[in-house]
Structure 1
Amino acid sequence: MSRLQLVRLIFLLLAAVVRADTVTYDWQADWISATPDGVTRPVIGINGEWPCPSIEASVGDEVVVRLTNNLGNQTTGLHFHGMRQIQTNFMDGASVVTQCPLGPGDTITYRFTVDVPGTYWYHSHNMGQYVDGLRGALLVYDPDDPYSEDYDEEEVVTLSDWYHEQTIYLSRFLLSPQNEPPAPPGIDSILVNDVRRNPHFHVDKNKTYRLRFINLSAAASFMLNFEEVDAQVIAIDGYNVRRARASMVRIAPAQRYDILVCFTDTYSDNIPFLIALDGNPDYTNPELRPRWPLNLTGQFISDPDAPLRRNRDVTVWRPMDDSRLEPFGDYRPLSHPNRLIQLEAEFCQDQYNIPRACFNHIPYVLQKVPTLYTAATVGEHNTNPVVYGAVNPFILSQGDIVDIVVNNHDDRNHPFHLHGHHFEVLDRPCARSGVWPGPNATHINEYPPLRDTVDVMAHSYVVIRFLADNPGVHLFHCHIEWHVEMGLTATLILGPEKLRGLDIPQDHLDSCRRIGMPTAGNAGGDLENPLHTWNMNDKPPRFHAG
Structure 2
Amino acid sequence: MRWGSSFTFVLFLTTAPVAKAAIGPVATLYVVNKNISPDGFTRPASVVNGAHPGPLIIAKKGETFKLNAVNQLSDITQERGTSIHWHGLFQKGTNFMDGAAGITQCPIAPGNAFQYSFSADSAGTFWYHSHFGLQYCDGVRGPIVIYDPSDPLKAFYDESTVITLSEWYHTVASSISGIPVADSTLINGKGRFPGGPKTDLAAVNVQQGKRYRLRVISISCGPSFTFSIDDHNLRVIEVEGNAVRPITVNSVNILAGQRYSIVLDACQPIGNYWIRAMPSSGRRNLPISFDGGINSAILRYKGAPNSEPTSVKQTTTNALVETDLHPLVSPFAPGRPQADGADMTVNLTFGFDPTTKKYSVNGAVFEPPSVPVLLQILNGARTPEELLPAGGVITVPRNKVIQVNVPSGLRGGPHPLHMHGHDFSVVRCADAGHFNFLDPVRRDVVNMGQTRGDFVSIRFKTDNPGPWIFHCHIDFHLGAGLAIVFAEAPYQTPKANPAPESWKNLCPIWDALPDDIKHTKLADKGVVNVTPNSRLSPCTIPAFLRPSWCEVSGSRYLSFNP
Task: Note closer, same or farther for the CA distance 1:94–1:307 as it changes in structure 2 (3 Å cut).
Answer: closer
What is the alpha-carbon distance in structure 2 between the residues aligned to residue 524 and residue 327 of structure 1? 47
The aligned residue for residue 277 of structure 1 is 278
Checking the alignment, whether the CA contact within 8 Å between 1:106 and 1:511 is kept in structure 2 is no
1:468-514 CA distance string (max 9 Å, x none):
11101101000001100100001000011112465322112212111
Q: 2:374 aligns with which of 369, 372, 375?
A: 372
Matches of residues 370-409 of structure 1 in structure 2 within 5 Å? 370-378=372-380, 381-390=381-390, 392-409=392-409
Matches of residues 94-109 of structure 1 in structure 2 within 5 Å? 94-109=100-115
- Aligned residue for 1:496, secondary structure, equals coil
1:200-238 CA distance string (max 9 Å, x none):
332222211111100011101111224622420000111
The aligned residue for residue 345 of structure 1 is 350
Task: Name which of structure 1's ranges 206-215 and 320-329 shifts more when overlaid on structure 2.
Answer: 320-329
The aligned residue for residue 192 of structure 1 is 187
Matches of residues 45-444 of structure 1 in structure 2 within 5 Å? 45-72=47-74, 73=76, 74-170=80-176, 173-174=177-178, 184-196=179-191, 197-226=200-229, 228-264=231-267, 267-270=268-271, 272-280=273-281, 291-292=288-289, 294-296=294-296, 298-305=298-305, 309-313=309-313, 319-336=319-336, 337-348=342-353, 353-378=355-380, 381-390=381-390, 392-411=392-411, 412-430=413-431, 442-444=434-436
Question: 1:9, CA displacement in angstroms?
Answer: 4.0
- Aligned residue for 1:375, secondary structure, equals helix
- Aligned residue for 1:90, secondary structure, equals helix
Checking the alignment, whether the CA contact within 8 Å between 1:219 and 1:279 is kept in structure 2 is no
Checking the alignment, whether the CA contact within 8 Å between 1:270 and 1:308 is kept in structure 2 is no
What is the alpha-carbon distance in structure 2 between the residues aligned to residue 449 and residue 510 of structure 1? 40
Amino acid aligned to 1:89: N
Amino acid aligned to 1:443: F
Task: Note closer, same or farther for the CA distance 1:420–1:312 as it changes in structure 2 (3 Å cut).
Answer: same
- Aligned residue for 2:246, secondary structure, equals strand
What is the alpha-carbon distance in structure 2 between the residues aligned to residue 523 and residue 368 of structure 1? 10
Amino acid aligned to 1:303: G
What is the alpha-carbon distance in structure 2 between the residues aligned to residue 450 and residue 405 of structure 1? 16
* Bigger helix fraction: 1
Q: 1:447 aligns with which of 439, 446, 455?
A: 439
The aligned residue for residue 483 of structure 1 is 477
Question: 1:100, CA displacement in angstroms?
Answer: 0.3
What is the alpha-carbon distance in structure 1 between the residues aligned to residue 474 and residue 2 of structure 2? 32
1:504-543 CA distance string (max 9 Å, x none):
2211221211122799x9995434389xxxx99xxxxxxx
Checking the alignment, whether the CA contact within 8 Å between 2:52 and 2:142 is kept in structure 1 is no
The aligned residue for residue 555 of structure 2 is none
What is the alpha-carbon distance in structure 2 between the residues aligned to residue 223 and residue 401 of structure 1? 33
State whether structure 2 residue 473 is matched by structure 1 residue 457: no
Q: TM-score, normalised by structure 2?
A: 0.80
What is the alpha-carbon distance in structure 1 between the residues aligned to residue 256 and residue 468 of structure 2? 19
Task: Note closer, same or farther for the CA distance 1:506–1:95 as it changes in structure 2 (3 Å cut).
Answer: same
Amino acid aligned to 1:243: P
Amino acid aligned to 1:397: P
Question: 1:295, CA displacement in angstroms?
Answer: 2.3
What is the alpha-carbon distance in structure 2 between the residues aligned to residue 75 and residue 317 of structure 1? 44
Between the aligned residues of both structures, percent identity stands at 28
- Aligned residue for 1:515, secondary structure, equals helix
Unaligned runs of 5+ in 1: 1-5, 15-21, 175-183, 282-289, 434-440, 537-546
Question: 1:45, CA displacement in angstroms?
Answer: 2.2
Question: 1:389, CA displacement in angstroms?
Answer: 2.8
Checking the alignment, whether the CA contact within 8 Å between 1:228 and 1:271 is kept in structure 2 is no
1:354-412 CA distance string (max 9 Å, x none):
2101112321022121001111111xx51344333335211111111011111133242
Task: Name which of structure 1's ranges 369-378 and 149-158 shifts more when overlaid on structure 2.
Answer: 149-158
Amino acid aligned to 2:121: D
Question: 1:273, CA displacement in angstroms?
Answer: 4.0
Question: 1:103, CA displacement in angstroms?
Answer: 1.1
Task: Note closer, same or farther for the CA distance 1:200–1:517 as it changes in structure 2 (3 Å cut).
Answer: same
Checking the alignment, whether the CA contact within 8 Å between 2:274 and 2:309 is kept in structure 1 is no
What is the alpha-carbon distance in structure 2 between the residues aligned to residue 10 and residue 302 of structure 1? 23
What is the alpha-carbon distance in structure 1 between the residues aligned to residue 35 and residue 281 of structure 2? 30
Question: 1:11, CA displacement in angstroms?
Answer: 7.8
Q: TM-score, normalised by structure 1?
A: 0.82
Checking the alignment, whether the CA contact within 8 Å between 1:34 and 1:40 is kept in structure 2 is yes
Question: 1:345, CA displacement in angstroms?
Answer: 2.4
Checking the alignment, whether the CA contact within 8 Å between 1:76 and 1:124 is kept in structure 2 is yes
Amino acid aligned to 2:440: P
What is the alpha-carbon distance in structure 1 between the residues aligned to residue 253 and residue 237 of structure 2? 15
Question: 1:43, CA displacement in angstroms?
Answer: 1.5
Checking the alignment, whether the CA contact within 8 Å between 1:82 and 1:121 is kept in structure 2 is yes
- Aligned residue for 2:323, secondary structure, equals helix
What is the alpha-carbon distance in structure 1 between the residues aligned to residue 241 and residue 5 of structure 2? 20
What is the alpha-carbon distance in structure 2 between the residues aligned to residue 511 and residue 133 of structure 1? 23
Task: Name which of structure 1's ranges 409-418 and 136-145 shifts more when overlaid on structure 2.
Answer: 409-418
Unaligned runs of 5+ in 2: 10-23, 192-199, 337-341, 514-532, 553-562
Task: Note closer, same or farther for the CA distance 1:105–1:146 as it changes in structure 2 (3 Å cut).
Answer: same
Amino acid aligned to 1:57: A
Superposition RMSD in Å: 2.9
1:404-448 CA distance string (max 9 Å, x none):
111133242110000010101111233xx9xxxxxxx84335310
Question: 1:277, CA displacement in angstroms?
Answer: 2.5
Task: Note closer, same or farther for the CA distance 1:117–1:374 as it changes in structure 2 (3 Å cut).
Answer: same
What is the alpha-carbon distance in structure 2 between the residues aligned to residue 397 and residue 192 of structure 1? 42
Amino acid aligned to 1:509: K
Task: Note closer, same or farther for the CA distance 1:309–1:348 as it changes in structure 2 (3 Å cut).
Answer: same
What is the alpha-carbon distance in structure 2 between the residues aligned to residue 420 and residue 134 of structure 1? 21
Question: 1:71, CA displacement in angstroms?
Answer: 0.6
Checking the alignment, whether the CA contact within 8 Å between 1:327 and 1:449 is kept in structure 2 is yes
The aligned residue for residue 542 of structure 1 is none
Task: Note closer, same or farther for the CA distance 1:65–1:308 as it changes in structure 2 (3 Å cut).
Answer: closer
Q: 2:503 aligns with which of 505, 508, 511?
A: 508
Q: 2:542 aligns with which of 516, 526, 542?
A: 526
Amino acid aligned to 1:130: Y
Question: 1:34, CA displacement in angstroms?
Answer: 0.8
